[in-house]
Amino acid sequence: MTLIRQVLRGADGVLGRRALERLRQQDAALVLLYHRVAPEHDPTYPPLPPAVFERHCAFVRDAFEVIRLGELADRLRHGRSLKGCCVMTFDDGYRSIREIALPWLVRFGYPAVMFVPTDFVGGSSSFDGDEPEEAICDWAELRDLQRWGVSIQSHAASHRPFSKLDPVEQEREVVGSKAVLEAELGAAVAVLAYPYGDPGADPEDVADDGRQRPLLVVGGDDDGQPGEAGSGRRGTVVGRRHEAVV
């Protein structure tokens, strides 16, 4: 069991407290990755139950300072400490996040980040053929999430693994998704979360295991001015997220 899982699973017990103390000694931020938060049970792709997400929120409140992803990148750029920092992220843009997770984020006063594959806005998660489809937020719903403090960032366009794309397609995925999001939402898009944690031809950026996902800065910051158009492949990996499914 990883240190992160020990913390989340044992938040109220001795194991969780010990793991938390070990985590606090590290100059590293806790970056949590969520997908679906929903009550229904699907044995092939179980969502995180709302009650468990609520417990995560309460535990994080008592142990960490939840910061924006832009602040995390700024701390890394300037060599500032990351101790005690947490960033909450959500992949794929599921509508259930707006309907179920957002009220808890608002109640706890947490900023968050949602990574959205732009080809599927207003549609469903048909990109995961072996998993049950779920509705993806439309543009109006994404704007509503923004108003409540959720930064909308890129999960590329087509949600394909970058290792399956040639350099021209990779460029199109990064630049195209950034342009669409900025045009529709009127806010800077500075960070890409690779679909499936697959960065393609950058082996040094490959996640350490299947449950960690690298993030890439593609220019600008997530709450400032849009970055200049150009290839995000020359960006900087700002962190690895730990899947918060326990």
Q: Is the predicted pLDDT of residue 214 greater than 50, yes or no?
A: yes
Q: Which pLDDT score is estimated for 28?
A: 80
pLDDT in tens, 135-181: 999 999 999 999 999 999 999 999 999 999 998 999 899 999 999 99
Its pTM stands at 0.82
pLDDT in tens, 173-191: 999 999 999 999 999 898 8
pLDDT in tens, 19-45: 667 776 788 888 888 988 988 665 555
Q: Is the predicted pLDDT of residue 227 greater than 70, yes or no?
A: no
pLDDT in tens, 92-128: 999 999 999 999 999 999 999 999 999 999 999 999 8
Q: Is the predicted pLDDT of residue 218 greater than 60, yes or no?
A: no
Token pair 């950026």 is found at 205
